[in-house]
Amino acid sequence: MSDILEGLNEQQKEGVITTEGPVLLLAGAGSGKTRVLTHRVAYLLEQGVAPYHIMAITFTNKAAGEMRERINHMIGFGAESIWVATFHSTCVRILRRYIDRLGYDTNFTIYDSDDQKTLMKDVCKYLEIDTKIHKEKMFLNVISSAKDELISPEEFTNRALGDYNKTRQAQVYREYQARLKANNALDFDDLIRLAVELLKNDPEVLDYYRNRFQYIMVDEYQDTNTAQFELVRLLASGRENLCVVGDDDQSIYKFRGANIYNILNFEHHYPEAKVIKLEQNYRSTQNILNAANEVIANNEGRKKKTLWTANDAGDKIRFEQFESAYEEAQFIASNIRTRVMREGYHYNDCAVLYRTNAQSRMLEEKMVHDNIPYKIVGGVNFYARREVKDILAYLKVVDNEVDDIAVRRIINVPKRGIGAASLNKVTLFAAANEMSFYDALTKAGEIPSLGRAAKKIEPFVQLISDAREHLANGSIAGLFEYIIDVTGYVEDLQLEGTDEAKGRIENIDELRNKIIAFETEHEDATLRSFLEEVSLVADIDSLDENSDYVVLMTLHAAKGLEFPNVYLAGMEDGLFPSFMSITADDSDQEIEEERRLAYVGITRAKEHLTITAAKMRMVRGDMQYSAVSRFVQEIPSELIDGVVYTPKKKFDVGYDAGGYGSSTGYGSSTGYGSSSGYGSSAGYSGSAGSAGLFGSAAYGQGGFSLKGKKTQAQKYQAKNFGTKIEKKGLDYAVGDRVSHVKFGEGEVTAINDGGRDYEVTVDFDRVGVKKMFASFAKLKKC
């Protein structure tokens, strides 16, 4: 027996050597599943399987990258021809090669959710749908779910017969799909769906790939949706050497179409499947693991398994409830400080996890304040930022001019004086002549209604064709510089000179770096391959374990990661589990999904787990008062260091009748101050003193700005009044002589009350008459 199996436990060994036939590897958190997968690959190679025939699919580029690295490390030569990729990039690679068989062009563009929204807006406008009643987002959700379930526009239409609303949705779906095709674009869901369609309908393609992928492994199988399952099923058909790895307790992407039954019913799909459970946890202390087990045990409908560990009991779980989110953040920051300063941990040993991205703001402020290096994962994707998308849109148009969304994005960025009226005329012309928007632009001179506006369009068309020429005899980086140069994009931002503009310039610089890095790493880099990579990256992919910073991210983003010190912030009912899940029609199911999320959070911790909650917190501008999360209460008190108040009543009474926090809600109706610790909002705000005081003291504008970010109030202040807001009386009057820093001395000829400020007219000796606002001019009486 080879040394490949050395150091593995019995179950892991079984997972490695059971190479033939379907295998379900139920891998609890921290049970070493990646280890099994990489050893399995090594084992396959040792058995004489060609690397070319092995495939491993993951969800994120980060996971794929890690697996690739570990495989390389273990195997070395030959490993590069093993197919390790995400679902989406796998499908892109298949489609780039064969999508022409489905009537698409192989140089298709990939639309992100932003592009989808823009496209949907156009569709709704065209179909005269009142988006006040039917939201674009709703249609996109409907379509996305349909695609996840492999329902084509035609089938959707058939199923909708007799139902007015559904028929309308079908109409939108058809139009949306038609436009995608006309733009030569695919959305994320199309990537999977069309790959499946191709494999289903084209025996030649199917044969090619299933012969190529003779041994298939799928990571995070609990997160696959119906389309992804179908893809895997097709590829594995025939040999059925399919090994899926997952943990039903960590299924947290139902909202994105993940079908938990893919894993729960795996044995049903493949009756001969071998099921192997990995239950030994190598990651966490006994106490942390026990807590996780106790919490998840409250879920029904799961594959029963109990994680155990040979690790020490470790510290108890620390729980702290604070008056406010402000104090909570303060505590977390100072606690991290202590860990680093006194206990020898590094910043990157610490992670703060929360339910919603909105919670990151307060935490970020405290990190800045305490000088703690940090990185926020999630929120706005780098490639979704306006300036980045603008530049990318130029690149996209150079690559695929049929992409109307990209063309429209940049046609008037920077301003070329081409307005909505002109664009409408071009659109009409394009529709009448059945050509793309861009083609219509190239024929602007032939559109009579345009008149003089045609002259404004010509330079744009010229720019694109010049840029294309530029690319032909240069690099992507060269093209990038060219575009920055001729559009004056960065120049304009420099002139703006605001902190915000500086931030945007930094992002553009960052984009430049990414392009250069891409070209350095890939010898055969093309514009298309760059754009493709860019459209398939997730924020989590940018996480670098070697950099010493604290990571702030959502619980969803944390899946698959581990840290010695984990902070679970905002553990409050209504926030986590979310208000939506508590009030949903299928609340039981939704709460179970939230509980799985809690389980994911707890099991990220290796050594220390700190759970925090706040009694009150600002949500959407107003105060919300919350009880400690039910999930915290599901942890046995002997595992906890800290006091968790238990409610007198069960939660299932609250939330519905008079709304959140009304006196009909949970807890005692006498409100805050009762020993239960649960207050109705009416009760709490009765003690207005503390809340009011706190509000002004803690949430004031603060003396620092966040990496160029400013609050709206600060921006307003900066823009209109410099540093002072109050309108002060003037110590000079008409006829007085005053002096100005730049213009020198002059005589005041008029003073007008302009509302918030005075408008002063001065006749300067050197430069003549100037009008200015008093608070800006800072005139001094001579």
CB of 579 vs DNA, minimal distance in Å:
6
Transcribe 5-61 into DSSP letters.
GTT--HHHHHHHH--SS-EEEEE-TTS-HHHHHHHHHHHHHHTT--GGGEEEEESSH
The residue from 12, 13, 33, 504 that is catalytic is: 33
Of 555, 517, 562, 564, the C-alpha closest to 537 is 517
Q: Residue 781 and residue 194: Cα distance in Å, rounded?
A: 75
Catalytic residue at 220?
Answer: yes
Say which DSSP state 408 is in: H
- Contacts (CB under 7 A) with DNA, residues 88-107: 88
Amino acid identity at 102: L
Binding map of DNA across residues 241-260, x = CB under 7 A, - = no contact: -----------x--xx----
The 3 state secondary structure assigned to 650-672 is CHHHCCCCCCCCCCCCCCCCCCE
CA gap 741, 764 in Å, rounded: 12
> Given the complex with DNA, which of 364 and 403 has the nearer CB atom?
364
Smallest CA-to-CA distance from 518 within 544, 536, 506 is with 536
- Helix, strand or coil for residue 291? helix
- The nearest distance, CB 604 to DNA, in angstroms, is 14
Does the footprint of DNA cover residue 581 (CB under 7 A)? Answer: yes
- Is 760:750 a contact under the CB 8 Å cutoff? yes
By C-alpha distance, which of 109, 116, 84 is closest to 191? 109
* Least spacing, CB of residue 248 vs DNA, in Å: 17
Of the candidates 358, 501, 682, 691, which one interacts with DNA according to CB under 7 A? 358
Instruction: Find the binder of DNA among 268, 304, 342, 415 (CB under 7 A).
Output: 415
Q: Which of the ranges 29-37, 342-350, 356-364, 525-533 carries the binding residues for DNA, by CB under 7 A?
A: 356-364
To the query of whether residue 404 is one of the catalytic residues in this protein, the response is no
Shortest reach from residue 423's CB to DNA, in Å: 8
In the complex, least distance from residue 319 CB atom to DNA, rounded to whole angstroms: 23
210 scored as a contact of DNA (CB under 7 A): no
Q: Which of 9, 34, 145, 356 touches DNA by CB under 7 A?
A: 356
- According to the binding rule CB under 7 A, does residue 619 interact with DNA? yes
582 binds DNA (CB under 7 A): no
425: phi > 0 → left, psi -120 to 50 → alpha, else beta; which? alpha
**Residues forming beta bridges with residue 57, ordered by sequence position:** 85, 218
Handedness of CA 408, 411, 413, 416 (dihedral sign): negative
Which one is catalytic: 250, 487, 610, 612?
A: 250
Which residue, 430 or 557, is less far from DNA as judged by CB? 557
523-542 positions binding DNA, by CB under 7 A: 536, 538-540
CB closer to DNA out of 152 and 714 = 714
The residues, any chain, with a CB within 8 Å of residue 507's CB and separated by 6 or more, are 382, 385, 387, 388
621 touches DNA by CB under 7 A: yes
Q: Parallel, antiparallel, or unpaired: how do β-strands 640-641 and 622-625 relate? A: unpaired
Single out the catalytic residue among 277, 389, 604, 617: 604
The verdict on 579 binding DNA (CB under 7 A) reads: yes
131 assigned to active site = no
Taking contact as CB under 7 A, which single stretch among the options 41-49, 282-290, 323-331, 705-713 is the one that binds DNA?
705-713
Measured between alpha carbons, how far is 444 from 429 in angstroms, rounded to an integer?
9
The count of C-alpha atoms lying within 13 angstroms of the C-alpha of 775, restricted to the half-sphere facing its C-beta, is 19
State the nearest-atom distance from the C-beta of 554 to DNA, in Å. Answer: 4
Q: What phi-psi label fits residue 673: left (phi over 0), alpha (psi between -120 and 50 degrees) or beta?
A: left
Residue with tokens 């001395």: 745
Closer of 418 and 627 to DNA (Cβ)? 418
Residue from 408, 556, 604, 606 touching DNA (CB under 7 A): that is 556
618, 682, 718, 772: residue in contact with DNA (rule CB under 7 A): 618
Q: Verify binding: residue 557, DNA, rule CB under 7 A.
A: yes
Nearer Cβ to DNA (4/258): 258
**Residue 114: how many other CB atoms lie within 10 Å:** 15
Q: Is 52 in the site for DNA (CB under 7 A)?
A: no
Q: Is 87 in the site for DNA (CB under 7 A)?
A: yes
List the one residue from 578, 612, 633, 775 that touches DNA (CB under 7 A).
Answer: 578
| Candidate list 34, 131, 171, 280, residue with the active-site label | 34
Minimum CB separation of residue 555 from DNA in Å reads 8
Residue type for 685, please? S
Q: Please say which residue, 654 or 677, places its beta carbon nearer to DNA.
A: 654
Measured CA to CA in angstroms, residue 361 lies from 196, 392, 550, 598 at distances of: 41, 28, 14, 21
Q: What are phi and psi of 385, to 5 degrees?
A: -70, 150
Residue 85 has which token pair? 């990729």
Under 8 Å between Cβ of 72 and 44: no
Assess whether the previous peptide bond of 414 is cis (omega < 30° from 0). Answer: yes
By CB under 7 A, which span of 327-335, 366-374, 467-475, 577-585 interacts with DNA? 577-585
Nearer to DNA (CB atom), residue 323 or residue 492: 492
Q: How many residues lie near DNA (CB under 7 A)?
A: 49
754 binds DNA (CB under 7 A): no
Min dist CB 562 to DNA, Å, is 18
CA distance 275 to 128: 53
Exactly one of 378, 601, 647, 683 binds DNA (CB under 7 A); which one? 378
For residue 39, the minimal CB distance to DNA (Å) is 25
CA distance 232 to 226: 10
Kind and range of the H or E run holding 311 = none
Contact between 702 and DNA by CB under 7 A: the answer reads: no
- Contacting DNA (CB under 7 A), which of 268, 304, 342, 620? 620
250 is catalytic: yes
Asked if 480 is part of the footprint of DNA (rule: CB under 7 A), the reply reads: no
Q: Is 381 in the site for DNA (CB under 7 A)?
A: yes
**Of the candidates 106, 54, 44, 126, which has an alpha carbon nearest to the alpha carbon of residue 85?**
54
Among 9, 19, 34, 113, indicate the residue that binds DNA (CB under 7 A). 113
Query: Binding of DNA at residue 713 (CB under 7 A)?
Result: yes
86 contacts DNA (rule: CB under 7 A): yes
Residue 556, SS3 per DSSP: helix
The verdict on 463 binding DNA (CB under 7 A) reads: no
For residue 607, the SS3 value is strand
Please say which residue, 86 or 177, places its beta carbon nearer to DNA.
Answer: 86
Which listed residue (219, 390, 401, 404) is catalytic? 219
d(CA 535, CA 120): 19
Known catalytic residue: 34? yes
154 included as an active-site residue: no
420 binds DNA (CB under 7 A): yes
- CB half-sphere exposure, 676, CA atoms < 13 A: 18
CB of 540 to DNA, least distance (A): 5
Q: Are 484 and 392 in contact, with CB atoms under 8 Å apart? A: no
- Kindly indicate which of the ranges 366-374, 563-571, 613-621, 732-740 contains the residues binding DNA, using the contact rule CB under 7 A: 613-621
- Tokens 């620390």 -> residue: 318
- Report the residue from 93, 416, 502, 727 that binds DNA according to the rule CB under 7 A: 416
Q: Which uninterrupted H or E stretch holds 249?
A: none
- Angle ∠(475,496,506) on CA atoms, nearest 5: 45
Catalytic residue numbers, as ranges:
33-34, 219-220, 250, 604
Positions that interact with DNA (CB under 7 A): 59-60, 86-88, 113, 132, 135, 137, 188, 252, 255-256, 355-358, 378, 381, 412, 415-422, 453, 536, 538-540, 554, 556-557, 578-581, 590, 618-621, 699, 711-713
